[in-house]
Structure 1
Amino acid sequence: MMRRGAGARGDPMHNAIVRRIVSIPRNLLGGFSRAVSHGIDLMGIGGRRSHYLPQPSFPPQYPPEPSIVQDEWAFLNCFEQQYGGSHPFFYACRFTEALKMAQEEHKFVFLYLHSPEHPFTPLFCRETLCSELVVQFLDTNFVCWAALANGGEGLQMTATLQPASYPFCAVLAPASGDNLAVLQQIEGPVSPAELVEILQRTLDEQGLAFGSGRAREEERTRVDRRLRQEQDAAYLSALQADQERDRLKSLASDRRAQKQAETSSKANTQKHWQNPIPKQASQVKETTSKKEAQPKDPATTTANGAQLTQIQIRFPNGERREQSFKSTDKIQAIYRHIDSLGMPGVANYRLISSFPRRVYGVDQMGMTLREAGLHPKASLFLELM
């Protein structure tokens, strides 16, 4: 009699998110893989893949035992001697390391407990587990781990999961703390098509709850990218508005200067005819009038003659602040001024100018404002990192 997983059609637990929660045996937690300690090649004896775990640069937490190789390869030796090397890729490592690899790859763990003496085991291994359909499906969608049901870590997992019959397969996912979520379990023989159907349905039903790590990361990336694009668009819009306002101010200033020059020229002409003055004095007065009519240099000076640079700083919340610095001050002086403001939420940031876009970060801290091209005035955007 076949006993299928809880996700099979018609089963009352078909819509359950988690079949049950179990605790990882304490003696499986902590320490380094014994396969790592001995540099064992993590591949099936059939040699379809080759994976190596990194060698630790410090001694393992637990000393190796004499029967390490026998414990690590007992299942693969037993399995391949009887059924050959064409089978799913079972990682020859501790169960906790397979669980960690599954987390990193955003996959579930497919666990198989092998009971050689059970009468249904040979048919299941030969016809189902070694079929090309099952091999390709498991290798693509799961991190596979298997062990003998009556020895080593397999015996500990048997005591934890308590299978009612063999062959026994389970789909596992990490839960809170040192617990496991048993998402699906299959007890008894099933055909290749039935096994793939059950596993595919498990991925579809449980993936949103337990396998969405990658989706969450991609969503965060999309949100960050959209936020950055919105900030850049807002900055460019504000910068263009500032440039247009400066252009209009400059145009108005030029018009006022031209009007003042024309008014002064008319007054001088009228005064000349009313009260002629020597030619030399007239030339001096004309020169003075021209100097007054010329637009003033926007860079003012301090008492000791140093030129000032006007820096306008735009914050991410849209607020703008303007501050004067000496042209000989360094970029670091702007950062110190911003830090002294105590703006909420402004901790790790950098300053950026646009048109052309240029970043004033750590490497530019020692540049003076004149060397950085910020004199006599410039607009900088504060970008949070």
Structure 2
Amino acid sequence: MAEDEEVTLTTEQTEKLLQFQDLTGIEDMERCRNILDQHDWNIETAVQDTLNVSEGKPTVYDRTTQASQPPVRTPEVNTNPRDQRIFTVARPTSSWFQWSYMMVFFPFRFFYTTVFDIVRWTLRLIWPDPRRIVTDPRGDVLSFITSYEERYGAAHPEFYRGSYSEALSDAKRDLKFLLVYLHGNDHQDTDQFCRDTLGNADVIEFINASLIFWAASVNSPEGYRVSLALRENTYPFLALIVLRDNKMTVVLRIEGAVSGESLIERVQRTMSETEGYLVAMRMGRQERNLNNTLRQEQDEAYRESLRQDQEKAKKKKEEEEEKNKQEQAEREQEEEKQNQIEERANRRIEKAALLPDEPDASNTDAVKILFKLPNGRRLERSFLKTCSLEVLYDYVYVQDEVPDEFQLQTNYPRRVLQCLPTEENETVPSIGDAGLSSREMLYVQDISD
């Protein structure tokens, strides 16, 4: 009876039946046919559902939703490798029709697939896909957003207006979830998904509040590049990416049409499962930031202390230099003063040796002069009227307790005697020419100040 039912299959259904058996390794032909019947002979859905069931995963047989696929490794985000699937070796079938069909069509199938692969490979060499050359990733994204709004309106989640790499960087920096949407323009479910799911008010509110939403068309170079990285199987395609183990990792894949409620529920569930990693990373980042802040404050305090120490050392050095300068100046002044004292002492000795002898008091040309010093001391001596006033000056100069600089002044009338030559008058008058009488008192006036 089973053979009668198998004979009634069309050629397309028989081809799908054998292909399904090859992919799943199920030896029971009747079971394979029942599975295909349950999935409306959609071989992709049937194979994926069968493999998920064999691996203990939830079934994907849902008219409105498609199950997430295990993430794959991409050049830009870290994904878990696909689970290794172990197939049982198919034993010989019990139907002679199956064997006959396989034997007859196997050469044609082999030839067709081989020739098709060779032709496709050759065409790719001759006419490379222009989408592989990405020249303006941000422009591709902005162009998609413009075309999307022209076709579906402005009711959609807030698109990230940057390249895929920039979205990954921002999500990694801010420790946020990144939801990637790849738009298949020609897919039959795309329009309904954009209008009913992405246009859903709850979906818009949820995505805008919780996620970074990046989207692009796979027909653009930027979208095609991301498509090659994420390796989607069908459209619409969504991938939830987050930082995990220090790598941007795909934690959820949604392929095919999905309702707004299901989308929110699945994303929220995945976010709840992954939130622990983000909390740990946020705490680690806060701790590192705190340590960095403390280290910066310590470094700043050290630099400030070092600066103050340097200023103190500089100030101390300047004070020492200033002190040394003052001491040096004082030493120089002292040396100069000492030199002046020695020089004056030498001059006093020379002038004392040149003073004329005191004349006898009975000499009619003798003038007796009383000198009164600033300290009150009195000096008295006789001089000849023919002696120069410079002799009077030198006599006072060689005495002790005499100011360094002084001048001689008469008592009455008060006048200063020109005892030293000047530029105006190089000739010094004599005692007699100065009008001094036989007995005079002269005041020694200190002018050293």
Q: Whose RCO is larger (CA < 8 A, sep 6+)? A: 1
Structure with greater helix percent: 2
With normalisation by structure 1, the TM-score equals 0.43
Q: Which has the larger radius of gyration?
A: 2
With normalisation by structure 2, the TM-score equals 0.37
